[in-house]
Structure 1
Amino acid sequence: MPWLNNNVVNKDAPAGDLIQKNLFTGIGTVNIPLYSYSNYNISTGVSLEYATDGIKVDRISSTVGIGWELFTGGEITRQVVGVEDEININHWCGTVFYVPYWERRGYWVNSKDTAKTDNAPDIFSLKLSDRKINFQFSKTGELFTIPKSSVKIERYVNGSLLSGQLDSTTDYTGDLTFKVTDESGNQYFFKKGDVANDTNSVDLSFASLPSCQQIFFPADKWVLDKIITYDGLQIGYFYDQISYTEVQHKSQVLREVNNDWSNVEEKIIKNSYTAQRLTRIEYPNNINVQFSYDVNSRCDLKNSFRLKEVLVTERTLTYGLVPQTQKYVFNQAYFVSPDSSMSTLFSSYGEYPISTNCNQFDDKRFRLKLKSIDMIAQSQSRNLFNFEYAGTDIPQRVCGGRDLYGYPSTAVPILQTCNNGTFSLMVPVHHWPDASHYAGMSLAPEIATKFIQAGALKKIITGSGAEYKLGYGLNAVSISGLSGLRLDTLSVYDGYNHDNDLYTTFTYEGPEVFVPEKAINYTYYQEGGEFNQPGHPYYLNNVWSSSSCLVNNSLDGANYGYKKVTECNWNSNGQQLNKTITQFSGSGATTAVNQGTDNNLMAPANVFNDNNFYVGFSLPPYSNKQYLRSWGIGLPIRREYYDYNNQLVKTEDLSYTVTTLPKQDVNFRAIVKLPSKKKNTDEPLEFYRDVYYPTTGLSYLNSILTRNYTTATSYSESNVAYAYDSHNNLQNTILQNSLSQNIKEVKYYNYNWNGNTPNPGTAINKMNQDGIEKLIYTETWKSNIDLSGSGQYSLINLATPAFSVNNNIIRPQYEYRLAVSDPLPSSIYTGNSSLDMNSLALGNTPATNFIKTGENSLFDDKGNVLETKEPRSNLYSASIWDNEAGFKLAAVKNARYNEIAYCGFESNYIPGTDYRKGNWDFNISGLAGQSAMLGRGSFQLGAGGLWTTTNLTIGKRYVVSFWVYQGGSADANDGVTPLNIQPSGVSYNGWNLYEKEFTAQSAGIGVWGSGYIDEVRLYPANSQMINYNFLPLIGKTAVVDPNDRITTYEHDGFGRETLIRDQNRNILNKVVNAEKGND
């Protein structure tokens, strides 16, 4: 998104480039990239993300600010189900007394049971740069991804690969880590991030933890340790450790004694955490991203520290140059909740500046917020973004006023004192469990948009003056259970030309709740008399407990969606520009459903239902276990496009196949305990077992029918049909156009060949052994038959690479294409059997009708192509690379790699022969940054000469050229005899060009002299060389053409191009980057 990086508002650039919108849920995601890295196999980087679904009351700010998350390439989090997977702990600590106690994750136990607590797998969420996957491991260790994926995830416990069941007969905890391998072969290594050191409770006078309660150290988050790309390059992540205490609200408890409901207490958990704090990332292109934190503790999380700056910088430089840097500075403050009773909680809007001493404050009243981002680069500073938030204050953490999902509400608590360390909270209206009610509480049903917007991002102002305004609506409709915010409007204002303003409205219809309120109203009810065992007096009356709800398997965190959304764009004059109406697939039900059918996208309800028990009276983790088949929900099934006159111009109808894997596989079985209260008895709580079968699957796009309207009733029609292979990859695409012509594309992947014969060492074989999935080539066919496929197709296009393995790196080495004058009937072409990938990898010309069109004949140790060959003309081209920074420095036509050389002295050199020296060698002590013709570096000839590492053809004509700074002189030889080169008369900024054609007398030549030398080139006389200069974090700075003409590209410190000049310093192009306030 270059227009965003440059802070230029472009009328053709949609607001979605900054704010990605999920129309189905109404949630937007703001993404601000700070640094991006990519190579042949991977794209990753560092960015800031903000989701617009609202701020929950008990949410703790990240190190950047509330609502904002720093994403650095990958993370794993989990929702604990029962007890953490790596922990083994019995329900019962002793054998004598029935002492009720609160287990670590919040389950009341009033029954002696020696079965393991954790009888169900945790739900993990993996987030990589381009995807998010939920996964579980079965009791036998099988991986279960949701939706189904080819990503490989391996568990390690205490450093050893765990392939089977994680279990033990003793109480213990293991060090759980992960290794993830994607379909491209990139490996992501995750280590423990945030680790809870201990757990305790407060304000529960009627229960205490027994002395045998076990203390464990589980992880709630895993962070990247390193990434190893399929090429073998490594991205390293480095951390330090901090310890802090976090106070969390776990549940609200109402104790009823003799019909007195005034005894209200709350479950407060204080966890001491050890956290991995990211300090730097080292990328393989000599770039570091460094993270700097405030030395003073945060006001909202004691002993934790806010992230102040992100510095992108060159890691090492050979000869003392000042590294290129880009620093992002976060300007922050605090939201402050008023220190008063709940009745005035929302009455004012507070902000507190960053303080050097926060110990005097109650940290639950504060939320760190991000106000703006500035950028400093090469001693220049500019504002990038400013942020404004809703004027309603966020309530104090662990202090009431929340709805079912934890968002702020207007609920009035029974007890409303949140001051002076008193955490007693409200308990909302509850229902006695009988035939017409579920045993549950209706937490804070009185919801208003004003309050739920507390702390929400409302406006983004860029440094160029552009504004993005976000208008929210509330997901509170007639269907109970919707919560959180949705985007109703999104406005983009150009800071300079209001003709470019864009105003977008979103209208939602057909709201649907996936898991209804009664299914996720996590409650607990217990009734009993006096337990008075020696030494353990315990009095128990009616106790109700409830906590904010979590949806076990939601759609990107949302428990709702809309089946029809209208998106309308308007200009600054209020005129409609266009309109799109999108219809989405729903879950097929808005209430609990029976055992799943093909038309239903809800997993089996499995509500424990018996005549002796209350229907739906269940406890987390699963409640009624109504898991979503999320892969089939929220798919666009129809789009209608309208013009500025509101006339229909196009429709798209999309169809899908939603697959679900069998649910009866015992390997994925998990057993959970569902406490239920018997009817009409005073018997204590009892435990019963229920069986849960996780569900996963995939959705496949079958077809898209497109109609383009010329009038209200006239249209042309085309249809695209899709088919998939056993690996769930797209295999066939058939397009039927309005002329009834069919175009079919057939895709082939590495696994379509076994790769074992006749050459088991080929690249196809390695791909298959490594388990990667790579598209090899696509066939294009044409026919006049219908979509049924009857009749004969003719092949009209096919181009395929053949891959080779060099230094364990796979790269395309040969290129082949179909060469026929007329389409080739399928009866003549027999498909992929005609193209033996193993034979092609050896450079053999394939079957009849194909020709070899290209060959990459040489690679460097990073896989960059150094030499190519055009087979028909037998001509070569060669390139010089900085294979660390990833820049191509020179390109030569009609030359072999071993007969060219180029060096501009810009790279990060190491002793000895190095690709970055460009087939020259020299003593790196001669590198100089004091004077440079182009770029930052040159070479001082007084420290020694230069010599080539080439293999020139003796007797062949070559050209050597270089630039020498005024006052210096230089010469070269032909390998034996000095050439006596004189200045050519061409000069540039005090540098003089030396150039001469000669006949090589040896495989290599030398250059020597005095003073500074730069841009040293050698190439055959009948070829042409172009060389390039680059600056890390900036880009291309100069180009020297085959005639030694120089074009320079000037940038400001932020990498934005400002001027293009020719060799005589004449301006060829000028770009003015507007800044707000500096017009």
Structure 2
Amino acid sequence: MTDESNKIWNVTLPSSNSWSFQDVTNANYIDHFTGRPNVNIPIHTIVTRELSFPISLNYSSSGVKVNEKPGIVGIGWSLGASGSVNRAIIGLPDEDPNGYHKRGPSHINYDGSLRDFSLDDYYATSNGLIDFQPDQYQYHTANGLSGIFFLDPMNSNELEILQVPKTDNLILKYEGYLSGTIQWVVKDIFGTNYFFGSFNNQTAIETTQTEEQSIGQKSTWYLMAIVSANGSDTIRFHYEDGGIEETEYYDEVYTKILGQANCSTGGSYCPAAEGYTSNIRLVSHQTFLLKRIETELMFVDFNTILRGNIKSIDNIKVYLKSKPSSPINEFKFSYMEYGTLNNNDFRFFLSDLVKSTPSSEEIEQFVFSYVQPEILPELNSSSIDHWGYFNGKNNPGIVQKHTIYNSINETAYEYGNANRATNTTLVYTGMLKEVIFPTGGVLNYSYESNSFCQIRERNTEPYEEINNDVVLSSRNGDTIFYFSITKPQYVTFNYTITCDEMAGGEEPQIDIILLNDGSTIQGFNCLGPGGYQQFNSGEICKLLYPGNYMVSVAGNSGDALITFSYMTHLLLSHPIEGFGGGCRVKSLSLSDMNHNSITKKYSYNLEQHNWPSSGILHNMPQYLFFQNYTKRISNCIFECNYFTISSGSRYDLQLSKGSYVNYRSVEEKIDSPNSGSTIYFFYNPTDIDDYSITEYDFPFPPSINTDWKRGMPKKIINKNFEGDPQSEALFYYDLINPYYLYGIKVGQRRFTDEFNTNLLPTSYFDIMVYRYTSADYLMVKKVNRDYLGDEVVESEEIFDYNTTLGHRQMTQSTKKTTDSQYITKIKYAKDFHGGNSDYMSAAIENMVQKNQIFPVEITKWIQNTSGVQSLIDGQLTLFRLENGSSVKDKIYTLQNKSNTNFFHSSINSAGIFDFDMQWWSKKIDFNNYSNLFRLNQRTINESGIAQSVIWGLKDNNTIATTTNSTLSESGHTSFENNELNGWTKYGPNEFETTPANVFTGKSSMEVTGASGPFQIFTVGQNAEKHSGYKASVWALGIGAYLHIEVNGEWASHVKVSNEFDDGLWHKLEVELPRHKIQPYFSQGENLKIKVYVGSEKGTVYFDDIRFHPSDAKMTTYTHEPLFGVTSISNENNQPIYYIYDPFGRLEYIKDFERNILKKNDYHYRTTSQ
């Protein structure tokens, strides 16, 4: 059983596998903000008509924790292949009768203040019987969609989804309250729908059960499907039962009874015993493992193998649905195992990843090695530092040695017997050391311990001293003196007071009070007996806020002479470097197959302030230290009073999946002569330029969950090899439309933050209100500077937003130069929404409902020094509703760019866009879309030229593009994938896939002594615009012919036959000139042209048949699914071939006669090497 006093700290996280799908997409090999290594190995990208989804192997770690279990791809690695909505149950589940959703609204006001918080509530909160902390939800997918949200019960009867911070993603919850929620839907800014938990009657929802709960709680909703905004495209995810994953949280607790009425061990409301007790909290997860991803055309299988009682990925195979038994590619995972199966010392690390294909002996192999993984101790070992990393200490337990001063009885107590200090040479044990790439290139890492500024000591030398004294004279009244400081600092006050004896022998009294904005900072009270007296003082105050200060002198001193002076000192100017929170990259080296190498070294100090580290420790282990009061009866105060201290840490440490230490700045320098460096600066909660901290915050800033500026780039400086700046970029952000979600938790009164003594961060039990901030945190300015000798060239960009309309996209950017400002203004669908359905177009309403945040209007302006703006460029995109989805209808561009200083567009009461046409011309008409919303035809209005597109492979690939032709008067097929693309074949005609009988792609049409495929084109009055029509086809076999005619009239026909019997492909081409069509112009829209092929002798083969106006230009394409384009045929129907090796790499480019134009060589291992 778990000690009652620890319940309020319990955080129930999802299983390790649910977190293993997190996305790490940094293309660099290091994350500068955290110092972590970043390795991203692409495995496969799923591409459909409108969707894409990457599968990758990712490494990003700050160290291997002793209690860390291997995931499905080993320790330290994650498989980016799916996604999930994860729920961290903090304390009790939100929906519990004593959980946040029931208790929060009854005790927390809208402004965060408490109400009706009784003694019983105090007791119940201290013992974890009721919960005032909201559960945290996080969604993430392998393609980078991510966010955090809470369910807010405060403002209405319905739970409001509160994103922290706000994003433009729309989150929807379906099917009942939390315990019944079976589906979450997230819509991104393109209107793409991500379904989590269930889709089409299939579900994958992980449940989590703890010993405190009688039933499992839903904790993870896995990504089930991705559906495009128009519903035409879907990627499905399938899972298998992953079994029960059990996690043991081991903890030791020391209890000290301080005494109270009737206080004894073992009582109803008293601790079980004084001294050490150990707890094991068991958390069980009913897990799921990704089994398959599928689309309309292909699928990817994920196959696992059991290593003891842990499943790991054995291989990933990629298939086409047309060839379901033969994988296109296979990825094989191998592991190094340490320890004994099913024992506490068993771990495995990914050793290599091999990509192979059935049609080749060649392989692509990645090989991985690590830093001494064999020396890691067994799970639940006591050889751990404060953060759980290996420190090599032979500790008898895990309660850190503490000396605690109890202010109640003014007694110091010693607790614990463990040394939890970080070992700077062991903290990176088990980290990724080397990656060998398939080409022979090598990536090497070296590491060092994370560090942070632990204590800042004030300088003993004066920073600034005010020497001229201020003489104040007071007689039975007040005297006020003002001064100001520009930065936080220590101030030494010196004053001399001379006063006379009061009449009647009354003792004089002088009060000197230091105030800031009306609040007393420090007071000095001076009393003296009658007579001539002098009082001197050398008080030191710590002033943390820049600004104006006031010294108020008051008293009944009679005549007094007061001499006042002060000197200031640098505040916290001598930081001491602390170590812990995992490790960081010290250097990395990259070498290619020819052993050409480059080494990058990283420095994490804050050089301009002479600080040894720029690190900020975001998650200091707050060892649980309570002063517990147990109740006797409802109306009595307390029966027993005792302390408990735990080896465990508070919940934000457990919630952190990232690095405990972040860096204000890091310098990256290439280790070679004459090489410069780049310094990256980041925002942090306790940034040195932001003095909104207090002495009690440092070095432990506010919770990671409430500061969203954290990690945003602040400045980037590029220096030359001499250290002189060459350029820099500065970034500024602002907090817009904040909304606060309040909760109640255990507060902390820190005794000390000094690691170099036996006093460690601990906390009294106390109730405090905290808040999560939901807001738009947006970049509002960027400044670029280039240093050209003695000259500095600066430009500035300012960004504006209209977040009140419900999106965070930039609505205006202004670039300032010396003499002008260039302004870009953008309006989106929501900007035209207006909240009134009577004044919007159906297409705009549809886009808003689907969360499609597309630019509708873009205008560019120039503003002179007098502030006058002139419109210089612009584009307006109009949409229409088609088959229930919004599609582009027209694009207008600015035509008259002179003397235009006003432009306004809106939607009128008829739902039509209203704007001044005198300045605008229609550029593009989007004429026609397929049933799957593929653009088939558009018209360029300036020239009146139509452009048409023909789609193949179920509308996935472009197979023909034609300029100066409508869709109705052009056609093409190369018979790929058994598709005719609008042509019709006769019964005896057969698709042919023998390579020798195929001209382009992988298919042709076999015709034996009969008519072949045909198509009738209703060209209508378009025929009058052209000089005629042309058809061509490639044919193999004597007797093949191509025929074209108008309205079935033989008199109009043109025919050509293949007379060669040489076993070669020949192009047949015919043209129907205008004079043969002109007699039929009177047919109007009924004018039709028929094109067909056939065989007059035996068996022939046809490929690449096309038809279009004679003055049009057609380009045709063939594709290999999962590889790419395999041929492009020009306007003369002559192809260029693109040949791939079995791994999908482009190997040859050949002309239409198969002559090699280009060859690419790849140097990879073979299976025999």
Matching of residues 384-399 of structure 1 within 5 Å = 384-392=365-373, 393-399=375-381
Specify the code of the residue in structure 1 equivalent to 2:230: D
Specify the code of the residue in structure 1 equivalent to 2:1102: I
Q: Which deviates more from structure 2 when the two are superposed, residues 635-644 or residues 755-764?
A: 755-764
Q: C-alpha displacement at 1:461, in angstroms?
A: 1.3
Q: C-alpha displacement at 1:635, in angstroms?
A: 3.0
The residue that corresponds to 2:402 in the other structure is 430
The counterpart of 2:359, out of the listed 360, 369, 379, is 379
Q: C-alpha displacement at 1:846, in angstroms?
A: 5.4
Contact in 1 for aligned 2:1033/2:1105 (Cα 8 Å):
yes
Q: C-alpha displacement at 1:372, in angstroms?
A: 1.2
Q: C-alpha displacement at 1:949, in angstroms?
A: 5.7
**2 CA distance for matches of 1:885 and 1:60?**
45
**3-state secondary structure, aligned to 1:669:** strand
The counterpart of 1:742, out of the listed 809, 821, 839, is 821
The residue that corresponds to 2:188 in the other structure is 182
Q: Against the structure 1 CA distance between its residues 565 and 513, is the aligned structure 2 distance closer, same or farther, given a 3 Å change threshold?
A: closer
Q: Against the structure 1 CA distance between its residues 234 and 18, is the aligned structure 2 distance closer, same or farther, given a 3 Å change threshold?
A: same
**3-state secondary structure, aligned to 2:349:** strand
The residue that corresponds to 1:763 in the other structure is 843
Specify the code of the residue in structure 2 equivalent to 1:62: G
Q: Which deviates more from structure 2 when the two are superposed, residues 1032-1041 or residues 394-403?
A: 394-403
The residue that corresponds to 2:508 in the other structure is none
Q: Against the structure 1 CA distance between its residues 690 and 176, is the aligned structure 2 distance closer, same or farther, given a 3 Å change threshold?
A: farther
Q: Against the structure 1 CA distance between its residues 1013 and 562, is the aligned structure 2 distance closer, same or farther, given a 3 Å change threshold?
A: same
Q: Any idea what the Cα deviations from partners look like across 1:369-427, whole Å, max 9, x if unmatched?
A: 2111111235224124211111243332222222222222223211xxxxxxxxxx533
The residue that corresponds to 2:322 in the other structure is 316
Specify the code of the residue in structure 1 equivalent to 2:238: F
Q: C-alpha displacement at 1:861, in angstroms?
A: 1.9
Specify the code of the residue in structure 1 equivalent to 2:796: N
Q: C-alpha displacement at 1:770, in angstroms?
A: 3.2
The residue that corresponds to 1:331 in the other structure is 334
**1 CA distance for matches of 2:208 and 2:712?**
42
Q: Any idea what the Cα deviations from partners look like across 1:714-737, whole Å, max 9, x if unmatched?
A: 222222222222233212211122
Q: Against the structure 1 CA distance between its residues 306 and 564, is the aligned structure 2 distance closer, same or farther, given a 3 Å change threshold?
A: closer
The residue that corresponds to 2:1092 in the other structure is 1006
The residue that corresponds to 1:969 in the other structure is 1040
The residue that corresponds to 1:463 in the other structure is 438
The residue that corresponds to 1:981 in the other structure is 1056
**2 CA distance for matches of 1:265 and 1:944?**
91
The residue that corresponds to 2:605 in the other structure is 508
The residue that corresponds to 2:706 in the other structure is 629
The residue that corresponds to 1:831 in the other structure is 904
**2 CA distance for matches of 1:736 and 1:837?**
40
The residue that corresponds to 1:804 in the other structure is 880
2:833 pairs with 1:754: yes
Specify the code of the residue in structure 2 equivalent to 1:244: I
Q: Any idea what the Cα deviations from partners look like across 1:508-567, whole Å, max 9, x if unmatched?
A: 33434455637x32356779999xxxxxxxx99986533255426988723332222211
The residue that corresponds to 1:148 in the other structure is 166
**2 CA distance for matches of 1:970 and 1:44?**
45
**3-state secondary structure, aligned to 1:696:** strand
Larger of the two Rg values belongs to structure: 2
Runs of 5+ unmatched residues, structure 2: 1-23, 101-121, 198-202, 258-264, 266-270, 455-577, 607-612, 633-639, 751-762, 1078-1086
2:133 pairs with 1:123: no
Q: Against the structure 1 CA distance between its residues 28 and 551, is the aligned structure 2 distance closer, same or farther, given a 3 Å change threshold?
A: farther
Contact in 1 for aligned 2:1031/2:1044 (Cα 8 Å):
no
Q: Against the structure 1 CA distance between its residues 765 and 176, is the aligned structure 2 distance closer, same or farther, given a 3 Å change threshold?
A: closer
Contact in 2 for aligned 1:429/1:442 (Cα 8 Å):
yes
Q: Any idea what the Cα deviations from partners look like across 1:88-112, whole Å, max 9, x if unmatched?
A: 4699xxxxxxxxxxxxxxxxx9979
**2 CA distance for matches of 1:526 and 1:44?**
52
Contact in 2 for aligned 1:720/1:734 (Cα 8 Å):
yes
2:1064 pairs with 1:994: no
The alignment-based identity, stated in percent, is 20
**2 CA distance for matches of 1:256 and 1:367?**
38
**3-state secondary structure, aligned to 2:845:** helix
The residue that corresponds to 2:487 in the other structure is none
**1 CA distance for matches of 2:240 and 2:364?**
30
Residue-pair matches, total: 920
Question: Per residue, is there more strand in 1 or in 2?
Answer: 2
Contact in 2 for aligned 1:934/1:1029 (Cα 8 Å):
yes
Contact in 2 for aligned 1:189/1:226 (Cα 8 Å):
yes
Contact in 1 for aligned 2:335/2:350 (Cα 8 Å):
yes
**3-state secondary structure, aligned to 1:249:** strand
Contact in 1 for aligned 2:42/2:55 (Cα 8 Å):
yes
Contact in 2 for aligned 1:404/1:443 (Cα 8 Å):
no
The residue that corresponds to 1:950 in the other structure is 1017
The counterpart of 2:811, out of the listed 722, 727, 731, is 731
Specify the code of the residue in structure 2 equivalent to 1:501: I
Specify the code of the residue in structure 1 equivalent to 2:783: L
**2 CA distance for matches of 1:969 and 1:67?**
63
Q: Against the structure 1 CA distance between its residues 624 and 43, is the aligned structure 2 distance closer, same or farther, given a 3 Å change threshold?
A: same
Q: Any idea what the Cα deviations from partners look like across 1:857-892, whole Å, max 9, x if unmatched?
A: 111122221111122332212111126362111111
Q: Against the structure 1 CA distance between its residues 403 and 194, is the aligned structure 2 distance closer, same or farther, given a 3 Å change threshold?
A: farther
2:246 pairs with 1:249: no
Q: Against the structure 1 CA distance between its residues 177 and 438, is the aligned structure 2 distance closer, same or farther, given a 3 Å change threshold?
A: farther
2:658 pairs with 1:557: yes
Contact in 2 for aligned 1:481/1:516 (Cα 8 Å):
no
**3-state secondary structure, aligned to 1:766:** helix
The counterpart of 1:362, out of the listed 335, 342, 353, is 342
Contact in 2 for aligned 1:58/1:248 (Cα 8 Å):
no
Q: C-alpha displacement at 1:698, in angstroms?
A: 3.4
Runs of 5+ unmatched residues, structure 1: 1-14, 92-108, 167-172, 201-212, 337-359, 415-424, 531-538, 591-596, 608-615, 617-622, 678-684, 910-915
Q: C-alpha displacement at 1:897, in angstroms?
A: 0.5
TM-score of the aligned structures, taking structure 2 as reference length:
0.71
Matching of residues 419-498 of structure 1 within 5 Å = 425-435=397-407, 444-477=419-452, 479=454, 482-496=580-594, 498=596
Contact in 1 for aligned 2:398/2:647 (Cα 8 Å):
no
The residue that corresponds to 1:236 in the other structure is 236
Q: C-alpha displacement at 1:994, in angstroms?
A: 2.4
The residue that corresponds to 1:1054 in the other structure is 1143
Specify the code of the residue in structure 2 equivalent to 1:993: K
Q: C-alpha displacement at 1:474, in angstroms?
A: 0.9
Contact in 2 for aligned 1:123/1:136 (Cα 8 Å):
yes
The counterpart of 1:1069, out of the listed 1144, 1148, 1158, is 1158
**1 CA distance for matches of 2:1093 and 2:674?**
69
The counterpart of 1:647, out of the listed 724, 727, 743, is 724
**1 CA distance for matches of 2:909 and 2:873?**
18
Q: C-alpha displacement at 1:177, in angstroms?
A: 3.7
The counterpart of 1:917, out of the listed 956, 978, 981, is 981
Q: Any idea what the Cα deviations from partners look like across 1:905-952, whole Å, max 9, x if unmatched?
A: 22365xxxxxx7255566698323234222222223359832326324
**2 CA distance for matches of 1:115 and 1:656?**
39
**1 CA distance for matches of 2:1158 and 2:623?**
64
Q: C-alpha displacement at 1:784, in angstroms?
A: 3.1
2:645 pairs with 1:522: no
Contact in 2 for aligned 1:404/1:481 (Cα 8 Å):
no
Specify the code of the residue in structure 1 equivalent to 2:604: T
The counterpart of 2:992, out of the listed 924, 928, 931, is 928
The residue that corresponds to 2:71 in the other structure is 62
2:218 pairs with 1:219: yes
Q: Against the structure 1 CA distance between its residues 634 and 276, is the aligned structure 2 distance closer, same or farther, given a 3 Å change threshold?
A: closer
Q: C-alpha displacement at 1:20, in angstroms?
A: 5.1
**2 CA distance for matches of 1:549 and 1:412?**
24
Q: Against the structure 1 CA distance between its residues 88 and 925, is the aligned structure 2 distance closer, same or farther, given a 3 Å change threshold?
A: farther
The residue that corresponds to 1:291 in the other structure is 302
Q: C-alpha displacement at 1:659, in angstroms?
A: 4.4
Contact in 1 for aligned 2:1017/2:1088 (Cα 8 Å):
no
Q: C-alpha displacement at 1:599, in angstroms?
A: 5.7
The residue that corresponds to 1:795 in the other structure is 871
The residue that corresponds to 1:578 in the other structure is 676
Q: C-alpha displacement at 1:292, in angstroms?
A: 1.4
Q: Against the structure 1 CA distance between its residues 409 and 396, is the aligned structure 2 distance closer, same or farther, given a 3 Å change threshold?
A: same
Q: Against the structure 1 CA distance between its residues 176 and 307, is the aligned structure 2 distance closer, same or farther, given a 3 Å change threshold?
A: same
**2 CA distance for matches of 1:813 and 1:112?**
60
Contact in 2 for aligned 1:985/1:993 (Cα 8 Å):
no
